[in-house]
Amino acid sequence: MSVANEPSFRESVDMMFNRAVALMDLPPGLEEKIRVCNATYTVRFGVRLRGKIHTFTGYRSVHSEHMEPVKGGIRFAKAVNQDEVEALAALMTYKCALVEAPFGGSKGGLCIDPREYDEHELEQITRRFAYELAKRDLIHPSQNVPAPDMGTGEREMAWIADQYARMNTTDINAKACVTGKPINAGGIQGRTEATGRGVQYALQEFFRDERDMAAAGLTGNLEGKRVIVQGLGNVGYHAAKFLSEEDGSIVTGIIERDGALFNPAGLDVEAVRNWIVKHGGITGFPDATHTADGAKVLEEDCDILVPAALEGVINLSNADRIKAPLIIEAANGPVTAGADEILRNKGCVIIPDMYANAGGVTVSYFEWVKNLSHIRFGRMQRRQEESRHQLVVDQLESLSEAMGKTWAPAPDFKDKYLRGAGELELVRSGLDDTMRAAYQTMREVWHGRDDVTDLRTAAYIVAIDKVATSYRAKGL
């Protein structure tokens, strides 16, 4: 989405970078080295479909190789272009640094509307794109590891992994060439939900702190907070589902391609998702007001706005009408640099993309480690942990018996306490820990420095500092 007088997505990311770097003391030239995108590969390839050859254009951009492999999703969308993948690759560098995932930043994209092709055609196109990238080590377990993004998911990642394995038949680590795979193709529990889950953990951490809530003029916790979500895809759906089902938030608005649904009493996220799967859009969903101009609903009154679709949706044309006191950027780049300034001046708190949607790359990191170690998390410890817990329960029971009392724990205590952690519990625990720790590093800079007044600048400062340290350690 672009608006007149608005910089491009990549320029917008660079402006935010420059704003932060002006407050840092980096050695001469290092700022430029970190900011620029190292390389972008453009490929055009043909696939024979429906009796003729169709030519597709794809990109893989590598922003920074201060750590390898580099990491970043592959997007399938009509609007994909070089500027966009470079902006997204830069964000990946900063995101990985912020959450301490040991990767450089990369991103890929294919100019295609996946809805125009059937499954078999999409498989042919995806495999051919993967072939072109793998041939140049732009898909490789130790060089460049893609993941899902807009328009792609588990299915595409499984095709990519298989394509790489066919081309590298003796590579024992072949599965680690891509993350976000289905479980039966080397994936990890909790990856599909990870980005939305991370958005939930980020908000939980924000609402643990009175001072942070006060900055947005909010109090209490997530219970009863009115939430508007844009994009009920992988990220938006999981975020909205967990916030409403587990934290008691009320999802009052859902914005999709074909308009928006609004209901002040709350929408049933699962029911809306099922409606979209069945009807291809939100139109016709009962129990809600439908607005044809969906973007207008971004401007509705709410407590938390969750843009989870595409970049540039909050821009110079609508920023001054946004009422939400708190925005969490579940999508990459939903707020342009110009809109960011307007919102900051209005006192709106923005939890920035590089942190807010880092749950995906965090769990991708766990998946990559699982693939390289060739063992599922928890497989060695689970039963041992359970028998140690059983010892404690047995001791408590015999102690109460010796005291002539009956031990009556809460009904689900034994169930919860005795059960050793499986892969999903461990993944969620690792993700929660990562989101909390990264939030605290941003927060320290946000509140600890007089010249930093927003979380985005704080996030950039933390991330750039980590990348700079890494370059310095390499002797650059």
441 is a site residue for ligand NAD (CB under 6 A): no
234 is a site residue for ligand NAD (CB under 6 A): yes
When binding is defined by CB under 6 A, the residue of 64, 106, 189, 195 that contacts ligand NAD is 195
Shortest Å, Cβ 232 to ligand NAD:
5
Q: Give the interface size with ligand NAD as a residue count (CB under 6 A).
A: 24
178 is a site residue for ligand NAD (CB under 6 A): no
When binding is defined by CB under 6 A, the residue of 357, 371, 441, 457 that contacts ligand NAD is 357
107, 175, 181, 241: the active-site residue: 107
Judged by beta carbon, residue 222 or residue 354, the one nearer ligand NAD is 354
Q: Look up 241 and say whether it is catalytic.
A: no
Shortest Å, Cβ 238 to ligand NAD:
8
When binding is defined by CB under 6 A, the residue of 69, 104, 325, 360 that contacts ligand NAD is 360
* Window of 244-252, 303-311, 402-410, 416-424 that interacts with ligand NAD by CB under 6 A: 303-311
Judged by beta carbon, residue 154 or residue 452, the one nearer ligand NAD is 154
Shortest Å, Cβ 372 to ligand NAD:
20
Judged by beta carbon, residue 256 or residue 423, the one nearer ligand NAD is 256
190 is a site residue for ligand NAD (CB under 6 A): no
When binding is defined by CB under 6 A, the residue of 105, 109, 294, 325 that contacts ligand NAD is 294
Residue nearest to ligand NAD as judged by C-beta position: 233
Residue (of 260, 344, 258) closest to 299 by Cα position:
260
308 is a site residue for ligand NAD (CB under 6 A): yes
Residue ranges in contact with ligand NAD by CB under 6 A: 148-151, 195, 230-236, 255-257, 294, 308-310, 330-332, 357, 360
Residues designated catalytic: 107
